[in-house]
Homo-oligomer: A and B are copies of this chain.
């Protein structure tokens, strides 16, 4: 078995630790997380690492360097999943980190390596994402009561959260992750280096008109909320298509009252806009709200908009990213449209991310997969990355 295949086999085995038999669902500090900790912890120990679970429930395995006081390279990703998930989102990055230590062993480097399996990234259990990585950078603070209670219920002590914070001696953070999108596949590429994690604006819009009888209301006397919403969705798509790398999505639309023979009096929609440059994203969002208002005015509708999320883009560290790109043989440089732990960790230390191709662009789906040869390529890139760091550390 190749190393890539072994990583995939491990991910598939770990996927059996789930809250829902027959499906992969593993939320923050759920019971199956204990099995993941035990399984990966045992492998870490076999690889000569010292293992602990910090107060945020992060699994942490440390492989010391040649000297006890050298800097530390962090390699991490998350161990939790969305409901009905695939087997690779997050956990593959942790498995790759341990695999690299296995391959390195017994060689020691000029820096220590700490592999972190974050307890929480998806935000499923408490609607609050990135609990694990926020704890690592010391920004979880005094956790919310519900989170603190979950920590206690798992047998950990929320008062010890300050001890979870990464040492000042951090050399940087490396995250391997599946792309969760179709770009690498569409270009026939195995790997991509992330330069920026896109910023996000999320809005909720409500178009309001007047409900009416579908048979008795002539077209020119209608104030049809669904028709207005449809015109706007079309405009959203046109706007996004017209600006390089902008993505804009209406993923949710509901009509009220929602009967086939009643003209909709209201339509509620979501808008998700992302771009690597905050100004481009913000200006697009402003134009799209203006387009909604203009459509509403023309149609005698009222539109209300509410900002649900506004998150700035996060750049990966240019130097560490260059190092990673060299290590990976100069692959595509790309933007991550999804948020990742690297986005959080980047606030405290240089961070870099390597994407592995997602077959079919699939993620957050039970059919999510990864090619063994791509995992092998990622391992090679990881080993080269160590060598590059050895030259400079």
Q: Using CB atoms and an 8 Å cutoff, list the residues of chain A in contact with chain B.
A: 179-183, 186, 198, 200, 202, 204, 211-221, 224, 226-227, 229-234, 237, 240-241, 245-255, 257-264, 267, 270-272, 274, 308, 336-339, 361, 363-365
In contact, A259 and B251 (Cβ under 8 angstroms)? yes
In contact, B240 and A234 (Cβ under 8 angstroms)? no
With A182-B217, A202-B260 known, 20 other A-B pairs at CB within 8 A are A181-B215, A181-B217, A182-B221, A186-B221, A213-B364, A215-B338, A218-B247, A219-B241, A224-B249, A226-B250, A226-B253, A227-B233, A230-B232, A230-B237, A234-B234, A250-B255, A251-B255, A251-B258, A252-B260, A260-B308
In contact, A252 and B259 (Cβ under 8 angstroms)? yes
- From A179, which residue of chain B is reached at the shortest CB distance? B216
Q: In the assembled complex, which residues on chain B have CB atoms less than 8 Å from the CB atom of A202?
A: 260-261
Q: How many copies of this chain?
A: 2
- From A271, which residue of chain B is reached at the shortest CB distance? B260
In contact, A274 and B215 (Cβ under 8 angstroms)? yes
Q: Name the distance in Å between A332's Cβ and chain B's nearest Cβ.
A: 13
In contact, B263 and A183 (Cβ under 8 angstroms)? no
How long is the Cα–Cα vector from A257 to B251 in the complex, in angstroms?
8
Q: In the assembled complex, which residues on chain B have CB atoms less than 8 Å from the CB atom of A217?
A: 181-182, 247, 337, 361
How long is the Cα–Cα vector from A124 to B232 in the complex, in angstroms?
35
- Chain A interface SS verdict (over half): mixed
- From A232, which residue of chain B is reached at the shortest CB distance? B230
In contact, A234 and B226 (Cβ under 8 angstroms)? no
How long is the Cα–Cα vector from A364 to B217 in the complex, in angstroms?
13
A-B contact pairs, 26 of them (CB 8 A): A181-B213, A181-B215, A181-B216, A181-B217, A182-B216, A183-B221, A200-B215, A202-B261, A213-B338, A213-B364, A214-B272, A215-B247, A217-B337, A219-B240, A219-B248, A224-B249, A230-B230, A230-B231, A230-B233, A231-B234, A249-B262, A251-B264, A253-B253, A253-B254, A261-B272, A262-B364
How long is the Cα–Cα vector from A182 to B210 in the complex, in angstroms?
12
The 7 residue pairs across chains A and B that have the minimum distance between CB atoms = A181-B216, A215-B337, A260-B270, A230-B233, A214-B249, A216-B337, A230-B230
- From A355, which residue of chain B is reached at the shortest CB distance? B216
